[in-house]
Amino acid sequence: MRTQVGIVGAGPAGLLLSQLLHLQGIDTVILERRSRAYVEGRIRAGVLEQGTVELLDQAQVGQRMHQIGLVHDGIELSFGGRRHRIDFRALTGKAVTVYGQTEVTKDLINARLAAGGKIIFEAEDVSVRDFDGRKPKICFRKDGKAQELACDFIGGCDGFHGVCRVSVPQDALTIYERIYPFAWLGILAETPPVSDELIYCHHERGFALFSMRSPTLSRLYIQCAPDEHLDAWPDERIWDELRLRLGGDAAAALQSAPSLEKSITPMRSFVAQPMRFSRLFLAGDAAHIVPPTGAKGLNLAAADVHVLARALTDFYASGRTALIEAYSDACLKRIWKAQRFSWWMTSILHRFPGRNPFDDQLQLAELDYVTGSTAASTALAENYVGLPLD
């Protein structure tokens, strides 16, 4: 089997890369170790930067997003018993769109299959080889049969636990990492959101986030210890904790409902660089992880793919390699800015173990400054809606 670009991973990064290249007449094959049902059912991020929305439109997969996605012109920060709105539209002229990663994935899979694209689900024992030469290949097993995909380039879009990054010689990688001493316990429930926009809560019991997927479906999070077990958090306890951290009239309006999905997400910052090794490119979670506080994970993956698709398109059109060679540096410049923003949002909203009253007052002072200063509010808004893709 042969293709121009072999892609490992059928998450949003791999699918979007395949779709963008297809629109430029470049052939791809995607290998995914999970089933289609599993990939389409994964509950992940839901806030899209304006640049990501525009990129999905460019990829011709934005129709359903515009029909059912929720455009948000701001967010609210809750602390000290009061809520304060950051008006993105007034401060930057931009907005974000709430549209679940699950839906983005479905749209991209449908588009690729409708165009005759090749996605091999449930590919086993995937490995990437010879990417340091001119004839890279991806080996795998499908239905018990060993197969080989020859290609010109490999897109490593297989996530943090995938095979692509670990296939790179470890002395060629520099790893930067921070593990946070807390996690997020998240639930999805069929209950109306308490606000038209996301509410980020700083509370003495810990952080909470009130988000949504639709006018009738809420996505809610509370800060918890990283070693917590889900069986210690029955639904009733979660709803009680959410009301405590939200407070006020909104807490009274919060309607309990059975959780449709419940999970605990550990918090880390992670960057592996460089992101290119001859003809292997890392993109998305294979190269970087951010705390979800700043809503940057999916958006960073889309930005990586934007840069990579442009570089590969230029190569096939002209034979030039300048954009390919610049891929890693171009992506990392944006990634480190997103890491900074995600760390900052995390640091001012969460309760850190071992904190003291001085630390508490610094957090409150920072939140008061951010919500009381136009310059500080603009900086938050500018980063949240997304820095320019180019």
Going by C-beta distance under 8 Å and a sequence separation of 6 or more, which residues neighbour residue 30? 7, 8, 9, 10, 14, 15, 18, 112, 117, 118, 119, 120
- Is residue 178 within 8 Å of 269, Cβ to Cβ? yes
Q: Cα separation of 190 and 173, whole Å? A: 44
Q: Domain check: are 111 and 58 in the same one?
A: yes
Residue 81 in domain: no
Residue 353 burial by Cβ neighbours in a 10 Å radius (0-12, 13-18, 19+): exposed
Q: Which positions are catalytic?
A: 72, 200, 292, 296, 384
Q: Domain check: are 110 and 195 in the same one?
A: no
Q: Domain check: are 235 and 125 in the same one?
A: no
Domain range holding 191? 181-266+352-385
pLDDT per residue rounded down to tens, the chain (390 residues): 999 999 999 999 999 999 999 999 999 999 999 999 999 998 787 899 999 999 999 999 999 999 999 999 999 999 999 999 999 999 999 999 999 999 999 999 999 999 999 999 999 999 999 999 989 999 999 999 999 999 999 999 999 999 999 999 999 999 999 999 999 999 999 999 999 999 999 999 999 999 999 999 999 999 999 999 999 999 999 999 999 999 998 999 999 999 999 999 999 999 999 999 999 999 999 999 999 999 999 999 999 999 999 999 999 999 999 999 999 999 999 999 999 999 999 999 999 999 999 999 999 999 999 999 999 999 999 999 999 987
Q: Domain check: are 257 and 357 in the same one?
A: yes
Q: What one-character DSSP code corresponds to residue 322?
A: H
Strands (E), the chain: 5-8, 28-31, 47-48, 70-72, 74-79, 82-87, 96-98, 118-120, 124-129, 137-142, 145-150, 153-156, 174-189, 199-201, 208-214, 217-224, 259-273, 276-277, 280-282, 288-289
Tokens of 225: 């210890």
Is the previous residue joined to 136 through a cis bond, with omega within 30 degrees of 0?
A: no
Q: Domain check: are 290 and 232 in the same one?
A: no
How does 15-32 read in b/e, with b if 16+ C-beta sit within 10 Å? bbbbbbbbeeebbbbbbb
Q: What is the CATH number of the domain that holds 361?
A: 3.30.9.10
Q: What is the CATH number of the domain that holds 136?
A: 3.50.50.60
The helix/strand count (H/E) of the chain reads as 12, 20
Strands 217-224 and 208-214, bridge-based pairing = antiparallel
Q: How many domains does the chain have?
A: 2
Q: Domain check: are 127 and 250 in the same one?
A: no
Q: Domain check: are 102 and 234 in the same one?
A: no
Q: Domain check: are 102 and 200 in the same one?
A: no
**Helical (H) or strand (E) element with 22:** helix 12-23
